[in-house]
């Protein structure tokens, strides 16, 4: 006696699985470039914070300008108002807050991104 599921008539599960896989691939193709761009801006900002004690980077406005230029290169909506740079005697602090709209086929998700970076000045 064989069961019905052993005849290979469960095509619906395979079809649902393929649809879910296709949706996941499309969403990943839309989200991953933005996530990579956000990570690039964060890494760039960390590098600037590490160099903040060097002569060209002692001006906080220059650090802000370079972060904004890098974010615009990565097509992220960062303005000078979104970036705050301040220092005390021993550390430099960089805070970047912005919202990235992500188009998810049927809706638009607003991703609130916040980078908080502090490094010791030498």
pLDDT on residue 1: 54
Q: Write out pLDDT tens, residues 10-25.
A: 678 888 889 999 999 9
- Distance in angstroms (rounded) separating the CA atoms of residues 54 and 74: 25
- Whether 1 is covered by a domain: the verdict is no
pTM score of the predicted model: 0.81
- Whether 71 is covered by a domain: the verdict is yes
Q: Write out pLDDT tens, residues 28-87.
A: 999 999 999 999 999 999 999 999 888 888 888 999 999 999 999 999 999 999 999 999
pLDDT at 8 over 60: no
Domain count, the chain: 1
- Whether 2 is covered by a domain: the verdict is no
- Whether 52 is covered by a domain: the verdict is yes
Q: Write out pLDDT tens, residues 85-98.
A: 999 989 999 999 99
- Whether 29 is covered by a domain: the verdict is yes
pLDDT on residue 3: 59
- Whether 3 is covered by a domain: the verdict is no
Full residue range of the structural domain in which residue 90 is found = 10-120
Locate 43 and state its tokens: 């890494």
């Amino acid at each position: 006696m064989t069961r019905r599921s052993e005849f290979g008539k469960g095509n619906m599960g395979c079809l649902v699985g393929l649809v879910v896989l296709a949706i996941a691939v499309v969403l990943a193709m839309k989200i991953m470039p933005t996530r990579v761009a956000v990570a690039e801006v964060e890494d760039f900002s960390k590098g600037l914070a590490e160099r903040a004690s060097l002569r060209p980077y002692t001006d906080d406005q220059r650090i802000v300008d370079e972060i904004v230029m890098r974010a615009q290169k990565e097509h992220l909506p960062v303005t000078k108002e979104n970036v705050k740079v301040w220092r005390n005697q021993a550390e430099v602090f960089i805070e970047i807050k912005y919202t990235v709209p992500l188009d998810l086929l049927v809706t638009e998700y607003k991703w609130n991104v916040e980078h908080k970076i502090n490094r010791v000045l030498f």
